Amino acid sequence: MDAAFLSPTDRLIAERACERLVVELVRRLDLGDPSTVAELFTPDGVWEWPAGERRVEGREALRRYFGGRPADRLSRRLCTNILVTLTSPTTATATSYLTTYRVDGHSGGLLPPQPPTQVGHYEDAFRLVDGEWLLAHRTLFLAFAGPTEHVGRAERP
């Protein structure tokens, strides 16, 4: 779509606001309070993972979903190749790649390096609501995935 509907400066500001949402979401999941991820979505926002048959719709459902992660989970997500495309003055889409390192049962200290638990990409839709860019829809697509290791579990022979 022709981006002539915004000045170059306004376009950069909108793109940067959407990029920041992508990064802020993973920061809140990994280092903040996961339930606050819901605040980054529109009230009718959707998070889905079609291959995992998960669809979470609405801010309250998102708050419960993200807030329900295990308290002993240690995770770090890397988001790269964030490409935002403005589709109108109030809507945008983006694709970003993700790599997730994650374990459950963490009680502190350093862990030895592990392969990533997930590698894939997000497809996002954003909407400008009352002057603030928010996620309207996020879809997760995984190319590589494995189970979340539980580091506190005893090894079985």
Residue 32: the pLDDT is 85
What distances in angstroms separate CA 44 from CA 6, 57, 73, 135, 136, one per listed residue?
A: 26, 6, 28, 10, 7
pLDDT, one tens digit per residue, over 70-102 is 999 999 999 999 999 999 999 999 999 999 999
Strands (E), 3-154: 41-49, 54-57, 74-88, 91-104, 118-129, 132-145, 149-150
pLDDT, one tens digit per residue, over 96-152 is 999 999 999 999 999 999 999 999 999 999 999 999 999 999 999 999 999 999 997
Residue 157: the pLDDT is 41
Residue 153: the pLDDT is 58
Report how far residue 135's alpha carbon sits from residue 140's, in angstroms, rounded to the nearest whole number.
13
Taking alpha carbons only, the member of 35, 111, 102 closest to residue 74 is 102
pLDDT, one tens digit per residue, over 9-22 is 999 999 999 999 99
Q: Quote the radius of gyration of the chain (alpha carbons, Å).
A: 17
CATH says 8-106+115-150 is which class?
alpha beta
